[in-house]
Amino acid sequence: MKLKLAGVFACALLALVSLLGGITIINAKSGNKYSQQVLSQSQQQYTNTTIPFKRGSITDRNGTILANSVKVYNLVLDCVEINRNQKKYKDPTKAALEEYFGIDQETTEGLITGESTKESQYQILKKEVTMEEKKAFEASLAVPESKEEKEALGEAEITRRQSVKGVYFEESYKRIYPLESLACDVIGFTDSADTATWGLEGYYNSTLNGSNGRRFGYMGENGTLEHTIVEAENGKNLTTTIDATIQEIVEKYISAFDRALSAGPNNKKNAKKKGAENIAVIVEDPNSGEILAMASSGTYDLNNPRDLSGSYTELEIANMDDEQTKEALFSMWKNYCISQNFEPGSVVKPIVVASALESGAITEESRFMCDGGEKIGEDFVRCAVYPDSHGAESLGEVIQNSCNDGMMAIGRKMGASLFLEYQNKFNFGTRTGIDLPSEETGLLFSEDNMYEMELSTSAFGQGFNCTMIQEIAAMSAAINGGIYYQPHLVKEITDEDGKVVKNITPTILKQPISQEVSADVREYMGMSVESGTSKSSKVKGYSMGGKTGTAEKLNEKEKGNYLVSFIGFAPLDKPEVVVYAVVDTPNVEEQASSTYPQYLAQAIMSEVLPYMNIYQDEPTDEETVLWEGFYGVPEMTDIVKDGVSNPYGTILDQGFGDGDPQEEPNDEETDGITNEDAGIEEDDSTYEEDAYGMEKLEDDIRR
C-alpha cells in the first residue's frame, strides 16, 4: 500500500513539474507574444475607450429643467467574438438584435461576414439606445443561479441566452429639452458633438461642457497587463433668470396674437400665413437687469431644430435649395430681441426727455407749442395728428400725446453733441453685453453727419437703429431711479453636486440720470397710460406707466409698412416689471396703430402681475377686458374642479386664423380707429359688423 501511494505521489509530482516546466518554457519563448495578444484584444474593446462627460443642465430660476442630458448608449457589435464560433453564436445573436432593437438580420449578417468588417470589434449598430432598452436586453440574456429557475427556463433557452455574443453597450449622452419649443430663442441647442452656436447653449458652451474620461490598458514594467481609468469631469449647470411660467404666458399670447391676425390682407400665395413679420416680447426686472422672459414668433422645437414646418409651408420647403434652406434655418434660429436692428419710434421719447432734463437743456416747467409739424429746410416734418395740432403742451403732455413737434423742439434745445452724448450714456449704439451670442450694436448718427433733420427725427425715434434689448435696458434705467443695469440671463453656475461655483449678481454699468429725473419720467409715462396714447394697455387695479411707438420702415422696398411697439411697467412709483412688445409689420390694412402691441402687453401683464405677487395699488370695480383676439386663450386662473383646464380654454383657432387674405374693410375694433375715420358706413351692405364671428364665440364661451 505504501509503495502504491508513493508511486501515485511520484506521478502527480512529475506531472506538476512537467506542467511548470512547460509553462516556464512557453513564457520564456512566447510570453511576450501572448501578453501582447491579450493586451491587443483588451485594447480593441476597452483600451482607449472614451468615458463621456455629462453636459450641464439649464434650469429656470425656480428649478424647472429647460435643457438636460440623459444617459443613452451606442449598441456595438464585436464581429471577431462571434466569428470565433460562428455556427454557435451567429443565429442567436442576430435574432436577439432583431427582436429587441429592430435591427434587420441581413444587416447583422453583412457585418459578421463582410470582408471589411468581419475582423472588426467595433461596429455601431444603433445610437441613442435608452437605459430601459439596455436593461431589457440584458435581462433577456441573464441566466439564473438557482437550479429551480434554470429548470423552469429549460436547457434550450439557457443555451440560446449563452450563445448571444459580441454585443456590448458604449455610454453616451443625449441632449433633451423637456419643454420643447419654450424659450427656444434663449436656450439654443447643441449638435451631436456637444457644441453649440445659438442661445445660452452657445454662449456658455465651454461652461456647460466637461472633459471626457478614459479607460485604457498598458503593459507594466513587470510585463503584466494594467488597466487605468480616468474619470470624466461633468459640465457645470446654469440657473437662469428666466421664469418658465412667465415665459409660457408670453409665448401663449404671441401665438394667439399671431393666429388672430394671420388671415389679414398681406399674406402671400403658398406662403405660411402669419399675423406679422415678427412679434417679439421681453419681460425684465428693471431693478436688476434680470430677463424674466424673451420670445418671438416663429418658434421651433429644440429637440428637432432643423424642422422648418412651423415657419414655412411644405411647398416652400420643397422648393428650397441648400443655400435657401440654410438661410431659412438661420432666420428661424435668430433671436429677434437681440439680433434685429430697427428704428424704435416713439418708445424712445421718455428717454430723450430724461436726457434733456438731466442735461439741463429743459426743465420740468418747460412748455412747448405744437402747430402740427415743423419745417426743416425744404421739408415739413409732421406731427402724428397733422393737420390737427396739440397746441400748447407741458412736458408731460408731450409724452402723453406722443407729440413729434414737441420732441423736435426738445432735440433742438439739446443740440447734436449733447443728444449723442446721452444716447451713449443710455448705451444706444453699443452692445449691452447680455450673455447671448450675436447681439447687434444698432446704428447711430455721428456728430459729423447729424444735421437738423437727423437731430429732429432722432428725437422721436426715427433715423437711428437699436435693438429691443437696448431699448428695454435703457428704459429700465429711465424709470428705476436712474441706474443702468447690464441685462443678463444667468443667475448662478453650479457644479454637478449643486454647489455654487459662481454667483452672477446684478451689474451696474452707469447712472445716466438722477432719481429726481427718473421720477418725472415715470409720472409722464403714467399720464400716457391714464389719458394718452397708451390707454389700451391699462390693467385694471394697477398703476402703470407706458409709451407707444410707431415707426415707418422707410428702408424697405415696399412702402407703407410699420413697426409698432409698446413699452410699459408697473407699479408706477416702484416699478417691478417692464414689458416691451414689438409687432413688426402687422398683417392688417392700416399698420400704423400702436394698439396691437398694447393688446399684447396688456394681456401679458394681466397674468404676470398677480403671478409675481405684485398687488393692486388702485381701487377698481372693473375687470380687465382683453382684446377680442384673445378670447378662448386659457389664463392661469382658468381652472375648474379637479384641476382640469376649462373646456374652452384650449381653443386657439377662433375661426379666422387660417383663411384667405381679407379684402373687406376692418372695423374699429381691429383697426384701432373709428369707422368714420376708416371711411366705413355701418349700413353699407359690404360691411360685416361681426366679420370674425366674435359674438358666436362669446356665446360658446359662456355656455
List the beta bridge partners of residue 281. 295, 581
Q: Which domain holds residue 117?
A: 65-178
Looking at every residue in the chain, the average pLDDT score rounds to 85
- What is the structure's pLDDT at 61? 95
Look at 66-80, 207-221, 611-625 and tell me which has the smallest mean pLDDT: 207-221
Look at 166-175, 419-428, 514-523 and tell me which has the smallest mean pLDDT: 166-175
Measured distance CA(117)–CA(202) in Å, rounded: 38
CB atoms within 10 A of CB 490: 20
**CATH at residue 440:** 3.40.710.10
**Each residue of 614-644: pLDDT tens digit?**
999 999 988 999 998 898 888 877 644 333 3
Q: How far is CA 514 from the centre of its chain?
A: 35
Residues 174 and 249 in one domain: no
| Total domains present in the chain | 2
Where among 122, 154, 178 does a domain terminate? 178
Residues 377 and 524 in one domain: yes
**Each residue of 274-322: pLDDT tens digit?**
999 999 999 999 999 999 999 999 899 999 999 998 888 899 899 999 9
Q: What is the DSSP letter of 641?
A: G
Residues 512 and 426 in one domain: yes
CB atoms within 10 A of CB 216: 16
Asked whether the beta carbons of 383 and 389 are under 8 A apart, the reply is: yes
Beta strands 508-510 and 545-552 are unpaired
pTM for this predicted structure: 0.81
* Cell numbers representing residue 288 in the block: 436688476
- pLDDT surpassing 90 at residue 452: yes
**CATH at residue 104:** 3.90.1310.10
Residue 28 in any domain: the answer is: no
C-alpha closest to that of 666 among 677, 655, 658, 657: 677
Residues 251 and 125 in one domain: no
Residue 425 in any domain: the answer is: yes
Residue 658 in any domain: the answer is: yes
Residue 319 in any domain: the answer is: yes
Where among 122, 145, 178 does a domain terminate? 178
Residue 479 in any domain: the answer is: yes
C-alpha closest to that of 338 among 436, 444, 485: 436
Residues 291 and 169 in one domain: no
- What is the structure's pLDDT at 673? 37
- What is the structure's pLDDT at 217? 65
Residue 696 in any domain: the answer is: no
Asked whether the beta carbons of 667 and 691 are under 8 A apart, the reply is: yes
Residue 323 in any domain: the answer is: yes
**Each residue of 2-40: pLDDT tens digit?**
888 887 777 888 888 778 877 777 766 666 555 555 544
- pLDDT surpassing 90 at residue 239: yes
Residue 55 in any domain: the answer is: no
Which residue type occupies 503? N
Give the residue, 635 or 421, on which the prediction is more confident.
421
